[in-house]
Amino acid sequence: MTIGTHPVSATRAAPASACAAVSSGAAFEIRPFDAPLGAEIVGLDLSEPLPAEDFARIHRAHLDHHVVVLRDQRITPGQQIAFSRRFGPLQIHVLHQFQLAGHPEILIVSNVLEDGKPIGLGDAGHFWHSDLSYKEKPSLGSLLHAQELPAEGGDTLFANMHLAWDTLPAHLKAAVEGRKAEHTYLAKYAELQQRSPWRPNLTPEQIAQVAPVLQPVVRTHPETGRRALFVSEHFTTRIAGLPEDESRDLLAQLFAHSVKPEHIYRHRWQEHDLLFWDNRSLLHLAAGCPDALRRVMYRTTIEGDLPF
Ligand code: SIN
């Protein structure tokens, strides 16, 4: 798949007349995108205290739109962590090499090398995935805050897995209903290691933290009750209980269906954007940027429930 030419929805907000769900509180506006998912929130300053009713609006928008783009957030790492924590406990990434100094809750996502050494995980999101689906309790959602953006590229794509489930052909629904699939952090690790300097050898302790898990192929969102396909090309290796060739063939069909252009929103980053996406509803992919251009992002990841 050529990411650069992916014919998907852009960042533009829908015209006000097309947005039945637009809400405008006293302090900030929520503007749904003209896309299969996503909304931007403008006029909010997360460096200020956030009253409970404003938090509730953001929470609702996150459930309704799956990605919210909080514009122009000039916040510190501590403020990103504090806001993220309001949604649940934070997860510490197994690649502790790329934690932000003094803030282990923040994973640096970056292609920058300093003195020949990576300062962050440069190939995070190279394959479609849902964050930490390889943990028993995968991530509820992730927040990614733009620190330095490249002049070209660096987009993030999101695929709506509720739509993927809703539109899945009946014979594929029947084939996967009630089944579980294995998710493994190490599935593509060796391949990524060969391609880039960002994948250190893992210690036995790190490997023990990412033992394979079984997850339902179709999950129910614990807050909205909507069903979503829950497999990804990065972490899902096989469907339990099926012969290897059948499982491979079925997964290939699910992967291809889930990231069809009509399910996708492509985010073109603006300075100080803070994105908050729902890993229970979406897959995402980093489109990448030219090596010579710096891209630095800070990610926090919120723990979710056991998928069912
Ligand atoms: C990620 O997969 O968390 C990183 C996404 C990005 O860098 O755009």
Question: How far, in Å, from the CA of 289 to the mean position of ligand 1?
Answer: 12
In sequence order, which residues have a C-beta less than 8 Å from that of residue 226 and are 6 or more positions away? 162, 220, 281
Cα–Cα distance measured from residue 186 to residue 191, given in angstroms and rounded to the nearest whole number: 10
How many independent structural domains does the chain possess?
Answer: 1
Give helix then strand counts, H and E, for the chain.
7, 19
> 99-108: long-range contacts (C-beta < 8 A, 24 or more apart)?
100/298, 103/77, 103/78, 105/81, 105/300, 106/77, 106/80, 106/81, 106/298, 106/299, 106/300, 107/298, 107/299, 107/300, 107/301, 108/296, 108/297, 108/298, 108/299
Catalytic residue among 71, 234, 280, 299: 299
Q: Kindly state whether residue 6 falls inside one of the protein's structural domains.
A: no
Cα–Cα distance measured from residue 248 to residue 252, given in angstroms and rounded to the nearest whole number: 6
- 129 a catalytic residue: yes
Ligand 1 contacts CB of residue 132 (under 6 A): no
User: Is 232 within 8 Å of 167 (Cβ atoms)?
Assistant: no
Cα–Cα distance measured from residue 302 to residue 300, given in angstroms and rounded to the nearest whole number: 7
- 96 a catalytic residue: no
Q: Kindly state whether residue 105 falls inside one of the protein's structural domains.
A: yes
Q: Kindly state whether residue 3 falls inside one of the protein's structural domains.
A: no
Intra-chain end-to-end CA distance of the chain, in Å: 31
Ramachandran assignment for 78, one of left (phi > 0), alpha (psi -120 to 50 degrees), beta (any other) = alpha
Q: Kindly state whether residue 9 falls inside one of the protein's structural domains.
A: no
Which domain covers residue 221, as residue numbers? 16-303
Residue 196 has what pLDDT? 79
Residue 61: CATH number of its domain = 3.60.130.10
Ligand 1 contacts CB of residue 124 (under 6 A): yes
Q: Kindly state whether residue 151 falls inside one of the protein's structural domains.
A: yes
Question: How far, in Å, from the CA of 56 to the mean position of ligand 1?
Answer: 26
Residue 199 has what pLDDT? 87
User: Which residue, 50, 10, 11, is CA-closest to 27?
Assistant: 50
Q: Kindly state whether residue 308 falls inside one of the protein's structural domains.
A: no
Ligand 1 contacts CB of residue 145 (under 6 A): no
Q: Kindly state whether residue 129 falls inside one of the protein's structural domains.
A: yes
> Could you give the count of Cα atoms lying within 13 Å of 262 in the half-sphere of its Cβ?
8
Residue 202: what residue type?
L
Catalytic residue among 54, 62, 66, 131: 131
Catalytic residue among 71, 93, 129, 221: 129
Ligand 1 atom at shortest distance from the alpha carbon of 154:
8
User: Which residue, 252, 261, 254, is CA-closest to 285?
Assistant: 261
Q: How do the pLDDT tens digits run along the chain, 308 residues long?
A: 333 333 344 444 443 333 333 444 448 999 999 999 999 999 999 999 999 999 999 999 999 999 999 999 999 999 999 999 999 999 999 999 999 999 999 999 999 999 999 999 999 999 999 999 999 999 999 999 999 999 999 999 999 999 999 999 999 999 999 999 999 999 999 999 998 778 888 999 999 999 999 999 999 999 999 999 999 999 999 999 999 999 999 999 999 999 999 999 999 999 999 999 999 999 999 999 999 999 999 999 999 999 99
Ligand 1 contacts CB of residue 160 (under 6 A): no
Q: Kindly state whether residue 222 falls inside one of the protein's structural domains.
A: yes
